[in-house]
Amino acid sequence: MPSDGLPKNLEPLAAGDPATIGPYVLVGRLGSGGMGTVYLGRAPEKGTHVAIKVIRPELAFDEATRARFRDEMENARKVASFCTAKVLDHGTFQNRPYMVTEYIAGTALAEHIAEHGPLDSGTLHGFALGVAAALAAIHKAGLVHRDLKPANVLLSLSGPRVIDFGIARALNTSTSHTQTGIVMGSPGWMAPEQLLEEKVTTKADIFAWGCLVAFAGNGRHPFGNGDAMTLGKRMLFAEPDIGNLDPPLDRLVARALAKDPDQRPTAQELLLELAGGTDSNDTNDVVSHALHQSWRPNFPPMPPGYPPPSPQAHSGMPGPQAQAQAPGQTTIAPQPYAHPQQGGPGPMPPQAAGPQGGPQGGPQSPPMPQRPGPQASHHTGQIPVVPPTTGRQPPRSPAAQGSSGGPQARPYVPPNTLPPHRPLRPDSSRSRLLIVFAVLGAVLLAVVLVFGLVFFQDWFSSTSDTNPPGQGQEQQSSAPKEDPDDESDKSDTQAADPQAGESLRFDLLDWYCGNQVLDRPLIVNGGEYCVAEIEAHNSANYPVKFRHDLQILAHASGEQTKADAPLHGEGADPLWAGPIQPGDTVRGYLVFIVHSELTPEVLILRSTVDSPGQQIEIPSGQPA
């Protein structure tokens, strides 16, 4: 995560995005889907970061979508905020309902696995426990999530958080809103009963939990790779490959992936077994204590000048406890930005936090004493992978286990343990010096940005529509005037630049439509995806960034549809990977969400906001 506290995958606001929604000032885009867009915003009073989900403009008057959005908000408000995102506010913006939740600073499981590989065994136990706790809270509220997948689980400082109640449904209702582009589940993460369109209960979420834990522990799906049809067949008829999971996860995941829903455990059973406790009314304390032992992601060091963390930051979190080093285990030097661990300081206090979802700080503490032995590798990512220990973990003696505030019939012994924390006094003079340098750097950066904006504004204003950057008006006026009789020069210019003002030249390679394309979520009733595979050539002498929000699909009725933002996998295509360099030719997919009553006719592809656009007719006989 960047040092400014903003997520590294935050997209800037596009041309059609609002600057504010209600009293909230928007900072950027966190993501978008078939029903709405999620923005990062600032609360008006405290300036904390919040997540704001708002319905897409084209669905603002669709009653089924509005009803489903209301259901999502009400369902999210029913669930206790432990291991989920708390709903803070809601309202209407330009007839579009919106919902405001706390912003969870963290990385989606899908992104973490793609960048760092599987979780180590200790963190995996905390992950399985945290997601089980979230499901227990969801099910206790009388809901089924129905869309538990890697993109909907965030890895945060305090543990995993389950988000997105877009298709959650109450157990005591048969209401279904499936009229406009409704995603009823994600391929590869749906239980067999969902695939067969049978009655869906809380046991469907347990099946998804088993897939998630196996995926997080092995870095691969337990039913392998493939399209939706292939994965669906395997999930119905094949046995899963759960890999080499440590006990008790190997046994629990195998039970969770049973084809028969009645053979799967409940979320409460998973929770109690993973937390090492007995059935108790004080479940949060049991979970919090277990997370202290097992949730140990390494985070980047905190910026200096912040107060130290407080062990009483979260309700139910126990304070520091001494913990003995188990024989034969490697001691890991903890990063000062890591989540609190047993024997170390507690979670970050709310008053020490910056903007909501931003970096939560404390002074950079020195590394804790270590026993001689091999050192763990140092990572700088959001949640770098810690190499797991191998072999069985020797049992700790009763004296080394310490006491606990909650019942623990079978206390969990984490794979990696740490010695007691012995904080040293920070070097205050060094901290002050670092703060001064940080402030000076920020001021210098602001000055550079201001001058850069002024320069580029003057630059573009002095450039004509047909001249590339670098050819100003002075060069234009001093250049020799074109001979009107010189037909050869005209023909050469027209041949080299058939559409003046366009830096990019486009070719349509393929065009097709369907309700499930490019690993995107399934669309049923009321719409479909239309995909244009295009090739773009940069004929200018400067790099050009291809933007999805400038690309238009015109319909026979005169209506226009903007291209949808590329999803995670599509963004890796050369077309989206970065600026297209001069002379380069790249390919990629452009996706539109088209309502069933519309008939696509022409693609209008543009290089810049002011360019006229290159029009390409949709091939006749193609599906629309």
Residue 140 annotated as binding?
Answer: no
Within 13 A of 454's CA, how many CA atoms are on the CB side?
Answer: 6
> What element of type H or E holds 617?
strand 614-617
Q: Which residues contact 416 (CB under 8 A, 6 or more apart)?
A: 120, 122, 296, 329, 330, 332, 386, 389
Instruction: Tell how strand 153-156 and strand 159-162 pair up.
Output: antiparallel
Note if the bond before 192 is cis, omega within 30 degrees.
Answer: no
CA distance 47 to 196: 47
164 Ramachandran zone, left/alpha/beta (phi>0; psi -120 to 50)? left
* 25 bridge partner residues: 20, 42
Q: Which of 62, 71, 147, 205 is catalytic?
A: 147
Contact 524, 515 (CB under 8 A): yes
Say if residues 358 and 298 touch (Cβ distance below 8 Å).
no
Where is 290: in which H helix or E strand? helix 283-294
Closest CA to 186 of 233, 141, 231, 241: 231
The whole-angstrom separation of Cα 3 and Cα 7 is: 9
Q: What are phi and psi of 491, to 5 degrees?
A: -65, -40
Bridge partners, residue 79, by sequence: none
Residue 282 appears among annotated catalytic residues: no
Counts of helices then strands in the chain (DSSP H, E): 14, 18
Extract the tokens encoding 164.
Answer: 């997105």
| Continuous segment of H or E residues that includes residue 476 | helix 473-478
Residue ranges of E strands in 206-313 = none
- Measured between alpha carbons, how far is 403 from 421 in angstroms, rounded to an integer? 17
Alpha-carbon distance of 228 to 187, in angstroms, equals 5
- Sheet containing strand 20-21, strands side by side: 20-21, 24-32, 36-42, 49-55, 96-102, 87-93
Residue 9 φ/ψ region, left for φ over 0, alpha for ψ in the -120 to 50 degree band, beta for the rest: alpha
End-to-end CA distance of the chain: 41
In this structure, how many other beta carbons lie within 10 angstroms of the beta carbon of residue 175? 9
Q: What are phi and psi of 453, to 5 degrees?
A: -65, -45
Neighbour tally for 574: CB within 10 Å: 15
Give the list of residues 6+ apart from residue 552 with CB closer than 8 angstroms, or none: 560, 561, 562, 563, 603, 604, 606, 613
Tokens 């292939």 identify what position? 230
Cα separation of 593 and 565, whole Å?
A: 10
d(CA 564, CA 445): 33
Task: Give φ, ψ of 142 to 5 degrees.
Answer: 80, 30
Summarize the annotated binding site for ATP as residue ranges: 53
Active site residues: 147
